[in-house]
Amino acid sequence: MIQLFSLAYEQFQYLPDLLDQCTLDFHQTNVQLTKIQTLKYFLKLIPTRNEIDPYFNTFVDKSIQGLMGIIRLPVFCHDDEQIIDWVLPSQCVIVRDTFIRKIFSQDLLLLHFNSYYLHDEFIKECDEQILIKLGSRRLDFADILKLIRTLYKQNDQIHSTKTTSIEQIAQWLLCIDYSLQQERERPGFNNEHDSGDETEMTTINELKQLKIIPLRQQSQLVSFDEFDKRTILFPPNKSIKFDKHLKIVLDDLPTIDDRLLDYIEDKYPRRIDSIKTLLTNLG
């Protein structure tokens, strides 16, 4: 019985050919069934836990496990999104945000994790929990942190705005914020017995050690850990006029480079509040 899903998968691969040979007119729209569409239809037949009697959950889970070494999923081949390859689910990463895929390219993902981004058309209509049970995974915080460190060390970069652009730093922060939001959305994250709070605290502590924060009137990037005895301030409101003596005091305090928040607010206005919250949590 457990092999039924595997047998069904093998037969489903012949569906486009069967429809072509069928005497009934299935092609009134003149659109031929693609391999990706065929796989989507097959996966939609796999019931989720809330669709069946709990008695059958074990049967479904074991049947999915039987598919893990057989089924192949569509992925982008390198950075050319016109070329599709088919790989095992264990090599697939689920990322719906095109911004993340732009910053961390397919080539970078393949080089450091031997993994591929699942095809856009495919993940839009597939149940994410089914894909995860098959062996696919989300791009988590640890992955993003590793990629940032890799990019940071390219070309022997030093911790400076002279070698690392404000735009690049903003993109890293946006990716970090995205990964944290994905983690919070994970089922069971806020459960009483879940270690979500501890995991997020560990994440925050790791972020505090990264030298990716640009300060006003300073070319060297800093980490929040370096300022554990002092607070790094947000830039003051530009509409407020300060007296000269107050301005001198403010200029002497560690303050985030205006260009960083200006860039995010200009390019990604919907993310600015979330980034400010992230920076506040970091210290």
Same domain membership, residue 62 and residue 21:
yes
Same domain membership, residue 76 and residue 39:
yes
Same domain membership, residue 59 and residue 99:
yes
Q: Which of 138, 163, 195 is the last residue of a domain?
A: 138
Q: What is the pLDDT of residue 74?
A: 92
Same domain membership, residue 215 and residue 148:
yes
Same domain membership, residue 99 and residue 74:
yes
Number of domains in the chain: 2
Judge contact between 206 and 145, C-beta under 8 A.
yes
Same domain membership, residue 169 and residue 132:
no
Q: What is the pLDDT of residue 80?
A: 63
Identify whether 157 is part of a domain: yes
Same domain membership, residue 254 and residue 134:
no
Q: What is the pLDDT of residue 75?
A: 92
Identify whether 247 is part of a domain: yes
Same domain membership, residue 162 and residue 119:
no
Judge contact between 118 and 92, C-beta under 8 A.
yes
Residue 73 carries which DSSP code? E
Same domain membership, residue 134 and residue 115:
yes
Q: What is the pLDDT of residue 192?
A: 46
Identify whether 256 is part of a domain: yes
pLDDT tens-digit series, residues 169-210: 898 899 888 888 877 776 555 554 455 556 667 777 888 888
Same domain membership, residue 37 and residue 166:
no
- Where the chain has pLDDT below 50, the residues are 192-193
Same domain membership, residue 170 and residue 58:
no
**Phi then psi for 269, rounded to 5 degrees?**
-60, -30
Q: What is the pTM of this model?
A: 0.76
Could you list the residue range(s) of the whole structural domain that residue 104 is in? 4-138
Q: Which of 82, 104, 138 is the last residue of a domain?
A: 138
Same domain membership, residue 153 and residue 231:
yes
Q: What is the pLDDT of residue 3?
A: 73
Q: How far apart are CA 265 and CA 255, in angstroms?
A: 17
Identify whether 192 is part of a domain: no
Identify whether 153 is part of a domain: yes
What is the DSSP secondary-structure string of 122-142? Answer: HHTTS-HHHHHHHT-EE--HH
Q: What is the pLDDT of residue 275?
A: 92
